[in-house]
């Protein structure tokens, strides 16, 4: 085999490797969903507290779900479907449905209590964040899971007002702050990805 042919074959192997790496490289952005849901929780809390409406939580959660689905489908049309992406959707979809069903049942049965609500929501969000962080190998998200689990456990020992304040603080750190951090990280990643692509096509 001549050197020229060997070089051409090596070139083909490099092409295969680079294309597989390109396909696996994720440019999906999910930071906005954390911020959106954080804001939705705050709206629901404010509405139910000051408006004294029993419909505040179901209405806000359904509206946030529709908004998330609409925006996510628009973004998804620009990305290929991957097993990793589907796994992430499955985790958060399952968690969302579980919280919705349990809290709705508690609300209608008249057994809803802030301690129980914070414990359930905190435990479920902790579980989803932890699972997601282990799959994505993302330590920051695991820290977020730890905050949710701590809030879930501690809320059981606090007064209703204290549990409420704890819930508001957990939402702020794990949804708003973490969501903004994700958005900044994703934006940097996309910029470096674009720069790398530009260099490779040059």
Partner 1 sequence: MIHGKLRLALLSLLSSVEEAEFTWLRAKTGSTDGNLGAQLLKLEEAGYVAVEKKFVQRKPQTLYRMTESGRQALTEYVQALKQLLGAAIDA
Residues in touch with partner 1 (CB under 8 A): 1, 5-6, 9-10, 12-13, 15-17, 19-24, 73-74, 77-83, 86, 201
Residue (12 or 137) nearer to partner 1, CB? 12
Shortest distance (Å) from residue 161 CB to partner 1: 45
Sorted by sequence, the CB contacts under 8 Å of residue 3 that are 6+ apart come out as none
* Smallest gap from residue 72 Cβ to partner 1 (A): 12
Q: What is d(CA 66, CA 64) in angstroms, rounded to the nearest whole number?
A: 6
- Nearer to partner 1 by Cβ, of 52 and 74: the residue is 74
- Cβ distance to partner 1 smaller for residue 9 or 46: 9
Work out the burial of residue 148: count CB atoms within 10 Å of its CB; fewer than 13 is exposed, 13-18 middle, 19 or more buried: buried
Closest CA to 148 of 134, 169, 176, 132: 169
User: What is the phi-psi region of residue 52: left when phi exceeds 0, alpha when psi lies from -120 to 50, beta otherwise?
Assistant: left
Minimum distance, C-beta of residue 109 to partner 1, in the bound complex (Å): 39
Q: What is the 3-state secondary structure (H, E, C) of 92-141?
A: HHHHHHHHHHHHHHHHHHCCCCHHHHHHHHHHHHHHHHHHHHHHHCCHHH
Nearer to partner 1, 24 or 139 (CB): 24
* Cβ proximity of 93 and 37 under 8 Å: no
Contact (Cβ atoms closer than 8 angstroms) between residue 148 and residue 123: yes
**Minimum distance of partner 1 from residue 19's CB (angstroms):** 3
CB of 82 to partner 1, least distance (A): 5
Q: Based on CB atoms, which residue is closest to partner 1, 23 or 51?
A: 23
CB of 53 or CB of 197, closer to partner 1: 197
Closest approach, Cβ 95 to partner 1, in A, equals: 22
């Amino acid at each position: 085999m001549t050197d020229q042919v060997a070089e051409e074959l090596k070139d083909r192997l490099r092409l295969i490797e680079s294309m597989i790496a390109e396909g696996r490289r994720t440019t999906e952005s999910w930071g906005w969903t954390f911020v959106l849901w954080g804001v939705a929780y705050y709206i629901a809390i404010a509405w139910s507290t000051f408006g004294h409406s029993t419909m505040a939580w179901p209405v806000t959660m359904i509206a946030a779900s529709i908004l998330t689905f609409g925006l996510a489908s628009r973004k998804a049309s620009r990305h290929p479907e991957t097993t990793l992406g589907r796994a992430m959707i499955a985790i958060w979809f399952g968690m969302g449905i579980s919280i919705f069903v349990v809290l709705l049942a508690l609300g209608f049965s008249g057994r809803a209590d802030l301690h129980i609500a914070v414990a359930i929501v905190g435990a479920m969000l902790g579980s989803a964040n932890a699972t997601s962080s282990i799959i994505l190998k993302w330590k920051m998200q695991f820290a977020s899971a730890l905050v949710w689990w701590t809030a879930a456990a501690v809320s059981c020992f606090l007064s209703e007002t204290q549990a409420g304040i704890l819930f508001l603080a957990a939402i702020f750190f794990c949804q708003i702050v973490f969501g903004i951090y994700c958005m900044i990280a994703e934006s940097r990643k996309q910029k470096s990805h674009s720069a790398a692509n530009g260099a490779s096509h040059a």
